[in-house]
Amino acid sequence: MTGPLTPLERSERLARYYDLDFLDVAYDAELYQQLVREVGGPVLELGVGSGRLGIPLALAGHEVVGIDNDPAMLQRARKTWEEARGQLEGGRFKAHDGDFITYRSPQRFGLVLIAVNTFLLAEDDGSRLAILTTMREHLREGGIAVVEVGTPDEAELARYDRRLQHEWLRHDPEAGEEVSKSISAHHDPEAGTLDLTQVYEWTPTEGGPLSRVTKIDTLHLVSAEHLGELARQAGFGEVDQRGDHLLTPYGAGSHRVILVARLV
């Protein structure tokens, strides 16, 4: 180890570890493949990240535009697309640096999505409404907007008491290193927030001391009911809520909500 990570090295590692974290996750990608087959493209993804969801949609034949404000994630998405696209047109997948609130394009999309818990980074209803408005304004007639967020119950939230919990140990094929991930979370019921700390540790292939990189996010929780109300305020005329990636209706026992909204 030559010393502390530079900001660029840290960002690149976190982008790579994001993909490692979702290595065995396919159910959400399958959902978006299903939805775009039903409504058609093109696709706009807010929070495209490393292209984990957007690139497979592009490889399946849909034009995809991704927006993110993390340069390392965007660089990784573009590199992955170039390596994966083969003979496909390079413009089939585009990853742009942008803000979810201010982004505007004349293009209209059949599917506009914000996946995982990215929507929970919005700090208040003003920001949430602005994001939903961005989604609505980019929908074409007959298109759908999809927002996916976790809705943990009280029992689950009570376990978020800052204790450190080990999640996995995986091999990073790009660096040839063994990487361990642990998380610590704290729920503040008064603020309605969840502070999530993700800790990644590894030992360099050439040997040396254990190294660590940490990512801290504050998630601003929103209930399924309130999310539906916000979608209607943003101008969506039809709002449906599902409780999992099989699109089971949202109800008691659901730990996430997948909002599917239409203009009419």
Q: Give the pLDDT of the chain (264 residues) as one tens digit per residue.
A: 456 788 888 999 999 999 999 998 888 999 999 999 999 989 999 999 999 999 999 999 999 999 999 999 999 999 999 999 988 888 899 999 999 999 999 999 999 999 999 999 999 999 999 999 999 999 999 999 999 999 999 999 988 999 999 999 999 999 889 999 999 999 999 999 999 999 999 987 777 778 899 999 999 999 999 999 999 999 999 999 999 999 999 998 899 999 999 998
At residue 152, the pLDDT reads 92
Domains of the chain: 18-152+222-262 (3.40.50.150), 154-220 (2.20.25)
What are the φ/ψ torsions at residue 56 (nearest 5 degrees)? -60, -35
Q: What is the pLDDT of residue 1?
A: 43
Residue 138: exposure state from Cβ atoms within 10 A (0-12, 13-18, ≥19) = buried
Dihedral of CA 108/110/116/121: which sign?
Answer: positive
Q: What distance in Å separates the CA atoms of residue 5 and residue 3, rounded to the nearest whole number?
A: 6
Q: Rounded CA gap, 123 and 7, in Å?
A: 25
Predicted confidence at residue 223, as pLDDT, reads 95
* pLDDT of res. 2: 53
Report pTM.
Answer: 0.92
- Is 3 within 8 Å of 69 (Cβ atoms)? no
